[in-house]
């Protein structure tokens, strides 16, 4: 004879795909009853417009059928009360955190930083995300360059993100990389964002705490140039695994990168490594290399900031063409493969606890 407890245990295998938890734990499966061969329960949704209600009901029927194929399931669908929703969003002991932040499971968070503009930091961040995805990692990109966002264009993203009861849903690229950027929220990608520091910092914190990233192995954060508000917000408000520094061959770029590295060290954020971008150009006919911007300063800069040199990346016109066309995921990026492999090895398991939470 099947019991209510067995029915409840079967229903606990049914997951809410958006929340990443089972419907019993979430308090969605209520008033479970059994009479003869008929099983019934009330399915309380966060919203009646939930696009996944049909799938979850089908999963519930399948779970009951696995328990006993002779049982018939009757599901009454209702919507949670405002009190129920508030209780679900608050959780236990974390009243101050948005629901999305509490439900997200992000193993590693890597910020890509240069200090200086024009060194190709965003393209390095995008290539890192692509390389990690090719390794089979679950990857997201948080575009923290609020006033100069370029990540969506590189990935060919234009549609506005959708909103769920949990939070803002990131856009997704054709290979499955999740992306959030201010440019995806503007009426036009050419629209200027003329904000002061506090607004910029607030937007970055929202991208971390109110976007439903779900489960990620790596979240790559593309920082803007400089060592002011945006970078400070990321390093003080978001639990980071470390920072990847980006420079170019000129000593001027190295000087500014050293300033950025000092900022990270003062805030106790690990330096995972250094990448020298636009380090050389390779002749497409003979393969000879040319140091267009002068001799490489990469090894010296790496020693000065106390971080390993992960690689020197060439100037490649194909990369520029792919980025402009929104096709960076189609770029081979052979030189970047080793950079990503080293970074995975060097990324610590634990993240730095934020100063402000």
The Cα–Cα gap between 217 and 347 comes to 11
Whole-number pLDDT of residue 89: 59
Question: b/e per residue, 101-133, with b = 16+ CB within 10 A?
Answer: bebbebebbbbbbbbbeebbbbbbbbbbbbbbb
- Strand 289-290 versus strand 271-282 pairing type: antiparallel
**Residue 180 lies in domain:** 99-346
Q: How far is CA 142 from CA 85, 218, 287, 341, 342, in A?
A: 28, 11, 36, 21, 21
**Do both 23 and 153 map to the same domain?**
no
**Do both 194 and 140 map to the same domain?**
yes
φ, ψ at 25 (rounded to 5°):
-60, -35
Given 90, 120, 136, the domain boundary residue is 90
Q: Which residues pair with 72 in a beta bridge?
A: 38
SS3 state of residue 279 = strand
Q: How many domains does the chain have?
A: 2
Q: Which residues pair with 312 in a beta bridge?
A: 276
CATH number, domain containing residue 60: 3.30.300.130
Q: Indicate the DSSP class of residue 352.
A: B
Asked whether 300 and 265 are in contact (CB, 8 A), the reply is: no
Residue 93's region, left for phi above 0, alpha for psi from -120 to 50, else beta, is left
Residues 6+ apart with CB under 8 A from 262: 305
SS3 state of residue 309 = strand
- The whole-model pTM stands at 0.74
- Residue 37 token pair: 């061969």
The Cα–Cα gap between 17 and 30 comes to 19
**Do both 315 and 202 map to the same domain?**
yes
**Do both 184 and 108 map to the same domain?**
yes
First to last CA, the chain: 51
- Residue 258 token pair: 């050293």
**Do both 304 and 184 map to the same domain?**
yes
Other CB atoms within 10 Å distance of the CB of residue 349: 7
Segments in the chain forming alpha helices (H): 4-11, 53-67, 82-90, 99-103, 121-134, 151-155, 197-209, 229-237, 251-266, 298-305, 317-324, 334-346
How many alpha carbons lie under 13 Å from residue 22 in its C-beta half-sphere? 13
φ, ψ at 194 (rounded to 5°):
-105, 80
Asked whether 247 and 253 are in contact (CB, 8 A), the reply is: yes
**Do both 116 and 62 map to the same domain?**
no
pLDDT tens per residue across all 357 residues of the chain:
788 889 999 999 998 876 677 899 888 999 999 998 999 999 998 878 777 889 999 999 999 999 999 999 999 999 988 777 767 655 544 456 888 998 999 999 999 999 888 899 999 999 999 999 999 999 999 999 998 899 999 999 999 899 888 889 999 999 999 999 999 999 888 888 888 777 888 899 999 999 999 999 999 999 988 777 888 889 988 999 999 999 999 888 889 999 999 999 988 999 999 999 999 998 888 889 899 989 999 999 999 999 999 999 999 999 999 999 999 999 998 889 999 999 999 999 999 987 655
CA 301 to the chain's CA centroid: 29
Residue 158 lies in a domain: yes
Closest by Cα among 161, 166, 116 to 142 = 161
* Burial of 56 (C-beta count, 10 Å sphere; 0-12/13-18/19+): buried
Residue 354 lies in a domain: no
**Do both 106 and 166 map to the same domain?**
yes
The Cα–Cα gap between 20 and 116 comes to 39
- Residue 61 token pair: 């029927």
Residue 357 lies in a domain: no
Whole-number pLDDT of residue 356: 56
**Do both 217 and 283 map to the same domain?**
yes
CATH number, domain containing residue 155: 3.40.50.300
Residues 6+ apart with CB under 8 A from 148: 224
Residue 44 lies in a domain: yes
């Amino acid at each position: 004879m099947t019991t209510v407890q067995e029915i409840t245990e079967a229903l606990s295998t049914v997951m809410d795909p958006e929340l990443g938890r089972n419907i019993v734990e979430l308090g969605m499966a209520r008033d479970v009853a059994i009479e003869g061969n008929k099983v019934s329960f009330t399915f309380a949704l966060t919203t009646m417009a939930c696009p996944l209600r049909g799938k979850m009901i089908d999963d519930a029927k399948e779970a009951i059928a696995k328990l006993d194929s002779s049982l018939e399931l009757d599901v009454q669908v209702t919507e949670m009360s405002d009190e129920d929703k508030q209780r679900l969003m608050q959780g236990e002991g974390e009243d101050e955190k948005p629901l999305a932040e509490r439900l997200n499971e992000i193993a590693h968070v890597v910020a890509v930083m240069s200090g200086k503009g024009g060194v190709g930091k965003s393209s390095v961040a995008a290539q890192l995300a692509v390389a990690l995805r090719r390794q089979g990692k679950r990857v997201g990109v948080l575009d923290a360059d609020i006033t100069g966002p370029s990540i969506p264009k590189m990935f060919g993203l234009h549609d506005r993100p959708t909103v769920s009861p949990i939070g803002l849903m990131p856009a997704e690229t054709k290979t499955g990389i999740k992306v959030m950027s201010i440019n995806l929220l503007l009426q036009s990608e050419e629209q200027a964002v003329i904000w002061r520091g506090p607004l910029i910092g607030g937007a970055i914190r929202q991208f971390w705490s109110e976007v439903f990233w779900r489960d990620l192995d790596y979240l790559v954060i593309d920082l803007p140039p400089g060592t002011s508000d945006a970078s400070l917000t990321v390093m003080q408000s978001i639990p980071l695994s470390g920072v990847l520094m980006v420079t170019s061959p000129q000593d001027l770029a190295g000087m500014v990168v050293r300033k950025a590295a000092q900022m990270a060290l003062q805030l106790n954020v690990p330096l995972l490594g250094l990448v020298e971008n636009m380090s050389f150009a390779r002749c497409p006919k003979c393969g000879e290399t040319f140091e267009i911007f002068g001799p490489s300063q990469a090894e010296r800069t790496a020693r000065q900031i106390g971080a390993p040199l992960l690689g020197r990346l060439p100037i490649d016109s194909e990369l520029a063409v792919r980025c402009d066309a929104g096709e960076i995921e189609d770029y081979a990026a052979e030189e970047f493969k080793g950079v990503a492999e080293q970074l995975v090895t060097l990324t610590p398991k634990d993240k730095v606890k934020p100063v402000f939470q």
